Structure 1
Amino acid sequence: MRYALDTQQVVLDCIRILYKEQDLDKALNQVLQIIGQYLSADRAYIFKIRGDKMDNTHEWCREGVVPQIDSLQGLDVSIVIPWENELQNHQCIIMKDIEEIRGEKVYDVLSPQDIQNMVIAPLEENGQINGYFGVDNPPHEKIRNIVSLLETLRYFIMITFQRHMDERRLQHLSLHDTLTGFYNRNKYILDIPEIANAGGSVGVVFLDFNGLKEINDFYGHSYGDQALKKCAEKMRAVFGNANLYRTGGDEFVIIASDQSETAFLSLVDTLRASLTEEQLPVAMGYQWQETSSDLKTLITLADQHMYEDKRRFYKDSVSSENPTRRPRNSSCIE
C-alpha cells in the first residue's frame, strides 16, 4: 500500500511538471530525475527514432554514474531487434540480466555502459514506435513494480511530445505562408521593428504579380497558385539569405540586410532577368539605404516604385481588359 501511494504521488508530480512546464527539455529532464531517484536507478533516459537511426535525447544520471548521452547518438535502430515483437505489441521490455542477450548487437552497446539490467517502454506517434523511455540498473526487488509506473508515464510523455509538436506547427502556420513557404504578413509586421533597430544597411524589394485575377479567372486558381510558387522559387534562388515575405495574395516583400548597394542592386537585376525569362509578369520596386533606422520611409518608397512599375505595365499592355490598379498606402507599420 505504501509503495502504491508513493508511486501515485510520483506519477502526479511528473504529470504536473509535464503539464505546466513550457520548456519541453526542462520538463523531461525533471521527470527523468524524479523517476530515476524514486526507482534508485543509475540512469533514466529517452531515445527518439529519426528514420533508421535513434538518438539519446534526454538523460538523468545518479551521482557518480558517467553520462552516456553524448556517445549514444545516431544508433542503428536494428539493435532493438531482439525486442521487436514486444515493442510492436506496445509492451515494456524487462531485462533482468544483460547476459541473456550476449551475442546480440544491443549487448555491444549496453555492456560498455556497465548495465546489468534495465526496463524500457516504447513511445509512439500515430501508432508507430518513435522512441523509448527507460531506466538502467534499478534494484532487482523493484523491477517487477516498475512496469506499471513506466506504462502510465509513457502515455503522458507521448501526449506532451504531441502537444509541443502541435504548438510548433501552429506557431509555424501563424508566421508562414503555406503556399510558398515564405514568411507571412504577421511575421512581416513583427520583424519590422527588429530590422529597423539593427542599424545596418538594408534593401527592400516590393513585388506584385500583374494580372493574377485574370489568370485565376481564365485558367483557374490552381494555375495561379503555380505561377505564384514559381515566382517565390525565383526570389528564393536569388535572395535566399534575405527575409522573404508573402504579404498578400499577389504581393511579396524582400528585406535584405547588411549588403552593399552594389550587391543589392545586382541581386535585383538578377531577379528581374530571371522573372522575365520565365515570362512571369511581376511589377517590382526597390530601395536601399545605409542604415535601417528609417525603415518605414524605405518601405514606402519601394512600394511606390513598385506601383509606378505596375502602371507602366498596364499602360504598355495591349489588353484593355487589364484595369490599372491605383496605388494605395501599403505601409502596415503605421
Structure 2
Amino acid sequence: MDFQKVAESLGAMTCVVSVEKIGEDDYGKVCIVAGNKAYVDSIEHPMGGVEMLTKKFVPGQEYTAYLTKDLNFEDACYRAAVKKKVIHSYAHPDRFEVWFNMVFMPLMYEDGDTCYCTYTMEINFEPDAETMSNVSSDIAGQVLNTCIKLRGADDLRYVMKDVIKDIRAICSAESCKVMLLDTIKRQCDLLCEDIDPNAPLLPMQEYIDNDEDMYGLALSWEKTISGSNCVIANDKHSFDVIKERNPRWYKSLKSAAVENIVLFPLKARGEILGYIWAVNFDPEKAPKIKEALELTTFILGSEIGNYLLLDRLKILSSIDMLTGVLNRNEMNNLVDSLCTGKRAKGKSVGVAFADLNGLKTVNDEEGHEAGDALLKRASAALRSVFGDDEIFRAGGDEFSIIVTDTTEEELAKKVEQLRENSKEYDKVSFAIGFSVEANAKNVRKALRKADENMYEDKRIFYENHPDKVRRTTNKDDFAFQVEGKGKKGKKTDA
C-alpha cells in the first residue's frame, strides 16, 4: 500500500501509523510511516506552544522520536489499527500549550503482525466548546447534571458525594474518588469517594492515614503521566509502563487489588489541585470512561479551584499568620455565636486566658525576630494541650482558649498540663486564668472572670520573678507592672 498517497489524500494534518501486534491483547512498536505536508510541517516547523523532540521527519521512525512516550496515544493507535475501531479524542496534553482534536481511522491493510491506521489532528489554542460537547448523549447528560449540582452548591464537599456516585455509575467502576493536594501542609485530602460495597477495595482514607508519604506518592503521579493528560492502565503493557516509571505506585496498585485504572489530574490556572480516578471497570469501556472524565475534570477543576481559593481566603482572614492559631476576629465571631445560642446550645463553656510572660523583654533585649520565635513556641505549647480546642491570639502576647461542653475540673487539668508542657519550650511561661460557665450563652461572663484570674496569676509571677519586670524610671509604673495592671486598670506589656 502507498501510505504516502493515503496521507496526502487527506487535507488536514494526517499521518499513517503502524502498530506491531503482539498476541491477542498487546502491542510493540508504534511508528509514523508516512505523513502529508501539513503533518511533516507540524514536526519540522512546529507552531507556538508545541515542542518536538526532533524537528526532522524520517518515515518509519517510532513516534517517540518526536514526542514523549504517551500511553493514551499508543492506546488510541492500537485500538484503531489492531481492533479496527474509529477513535475520536479531544485532549490537552501537559507537554503542549494547545488542545488537540484527534481522529484515528483504521486501515484494513495489514502486513503480517503489523497493522495500520491514519491519525488526523487539528490544533486549537483555546478549548473549543463545540468540540468538547460532541460526546455521546449519556455522557453529555451526566456532565450537564454535574454542572447543575456544582453551580448550586453551598457546600462543595457535600455535593461532591453525589457527583462522585454519578461518575462511578457512568464509569461502571468499583470505585471512584477525588483527592486534593494541600501544598501548604504537604498532605492529601480526600474530597469524596464512592465504592461498590461488594468490591474488595479499602477506603482511600485508610491509605492516607497509614502511608506516611502518601503526599509524596501523589506528587509522583505528575511525572508518571509524563506529558499526557491522564493515565489509563487496563492491560499488561500499560501496567508495565507504570512499573517502569513509578515502581512504588505499581506495587501499591497491585497490593490494592486494582485491575485497571484511569487517573486524571484536576487543574485550575495551570496548578494541579489533585486527582480523580476510577478503578476496576470494564476495559472495553475505557474510551467512554476517558471521554467522560476528560470533560468532567475540565469542569471540576474550575469549580474546585474556586472552592479552594475561597477556602484559602477564609483561612487568611481567620488565622494569625505568625503563630498559626485563630485570630481575634474569629474569637469575636465564636463569642457572638455562643451568646446567641447558635453554637453549643444548652452546653457549658470554659475560657482560659494565657498571657505570655516576658515577651517585651525578649523583644527589647534580643530583637523582634527572637520575640516572634518565642510566640511561635508559645503557640506550639498551647497546641500540645489544647490541640482539639479553639485557640486564639487575642492580642500581642495574649492567647485565649474557648472550650465547650467541659467542666471546671477538666479545664483545670488542662491548665496544669499547659504549665508543665511549657517547661519543654525555651523561655515559654504563661500567666493563666480560667473560668467555666454552665450555660454557653454566658461566655462573656466567663471571659471577664478568666481575664481577672489571669491578671492575678501574672501579679504572682512578677512578685516571684522581679527580674522579669520591664524596667522603667517611673516608680508608679513599676508598681503597676508588678500588680499586672496599667494606670487605667489594663495590663501592660511584660
What TM-score, normalized to structure 2? 0.48
Change (3 A) 1:210 1:11: same
Distance 1:108 1:232 in 2: 40
In structure 2, what is the Cα distance between the partners aligned to 1:46 and 1:79?
Answer: 16
Paired position in structure 1 for 2:23: none
Structure 1 residue 131 and structure 2 residue 275: aligned? Answer: yes
Q: Confirm or deny: 8 A CA contact 1:209 1:283 kept in the other structure.
A: yes
**Residue 472 (structure 2) aligned to one of 308, 317, 320:** 320
Matched, 1:216 2:372: no
Q: Tell me which moved more, 131-140 or 298-307.
A: 131-140
- The structural deviation recorded for 1:199 is 3.7
Q: How many Å separate the matches in 2 of 1:240 and 1:143?
A: 46
Out of 172-181 and 69-78, give the one that drifted further: 69-78
Q: Distance in 1 between matches of 2:189 and 2:357?
A: 49
Partner of 2:194: 59
Go from structure 1 to structure 2 and tell me whether the alpha carbon gap of 1:94 and 1:287 turns closer, same or farther (over 3 Å shift).
closer
Q: Residue deviations 1:229-251, cap 9 Å, x none?
A: 23333334455555432112222
Instruction: Tell which has more relative contact order, 1 or 2 (C-alpha 8 A, sep 6+).
Output: 1
Q: What is the total number of aligned residue pairs between the two structures? A: 317
Shift of residue 84, structure 1, vs aligned partner: 8.9
Q: Tell me whether 1:89 sits opposite 2:227 in the alignment.
A: yes
CA distance in 2, matches of 1:273, 1:137: 56
Q: Secondary structure at the match of 2:354?
A: strand
> SS of the counterpart of 2:351?
strand
- Determine helix, strand or coil for the equivalent of 2:326: coil
Task: Identify the residue that residue 74 of structure 1 maps to in structure 2.
Answer: 207
The structure that has the greater radius of gyration is 2
Counterpart CA distance in 2 for 1:148 and 1:275 is 57
Letter in 1 for 2:331: Y
Q: Which residue identity is paired with 2:395?
A: G
1:168 aligned partner, one-letter code: D
Partner of 2:324: 181
CA distance in structure 1 between the partners assigned to 2:143 and 2:457 by the alignment: 65
Matched AA of 2:311: R
Aligned-residue offset at 1:162: 3.3
Deviation per CA, 1:232-288: give whole Å up to 9, x if none. 333344555554321122221234552344x64455456457668955575443445
- Hey, what's the Cα distance between the residues in 1 that align with 2:377 and 2:383? 10
Aligned in 2, Cα 1:242/1:26: closer, same or farther, shift over 3 Å? closer
What is the CA-CA distance between 1:171 and the residue it aligns to? Answer: 3.4
Deviations 1:197-254 (A, max 9, x none): 4443x54332334564564355332211112223333334455555432112222123
Residue of structure 2 in register with 1:295 after alignment: 443
For residues 93-108 of structure 1, what are the structure 2 equivalents within 5 Å? 93-94=231-232, 98=235
CA contact (8 A) 2:176 2:278 kept: yes
Q: Which amino acid aligns with 2:324?
A: G
SS at match of 1:150: helix
- Secondary structure class of the residue paired with 1:294: helix
Q: 1:48 to 1:326 in 2, by over 3 A?
A: same
Distance 2:272 2:364 in 1: 44
SS state at 2:395 partner: coil
User: Shift of the alpha carbon at 1:98?
Assistant: 4.0
In 2: Cα distance, 1:54 partner to 1:231 partner = 28
What are the residue-to-residue correspondences of 1:92-171 with 2, within 5 Å? 92-94=230-232, 98=235, 120-124=262-266, 130-134=274-278, 137=281, 140=284, 144=287, 147-171=290-314
The partner residue of 2:333 within 183, 190, 194 is: 190
Pairing 1:259–2:410 present: no
1:227 to 354, 374, 391: 374
> Cα RMSD over matched residues?
5.1
* Distance change >3 Å, CA 52–CA 24, structure 1 → 2: closer
Going from structure 1 to structure 2, the CA distance change for 1:254 and 1:86 (only over 3 Å counts) comes to closer
| Cα gap change, 1:149 to 1:181, in 2 (>3 Å) | same
Q: 1:285 aligns with which of 418, 433, 437?
A: 433
Closer, same or farther in 2 for the Cα pair 1:254/1:151, shift >3 Å? closer
Q: 1:276 to 1:122 in 2, by over 3 A?
A: closer
Provide the secondary structure at the position in 2 that maps to 1:166.
helix
Sort the Cα spacing of 1:270 and 1:308 in 2 relative to 1 into closer, same or farther, 3 A. same
Distance 2:301 2:272 in 1: 12
Structure 1 gaps, min length 5: none
> What's the secondary structure of 1:252's corresponding residue?
strand
Q: Provide the identity percentage.
A: 24
| 2:177 matched residue in structure 1 | 46
Checking the alignment, whether the CA contact within 8 Å between 2:201 and 2:256 is kept in structure 1 is no
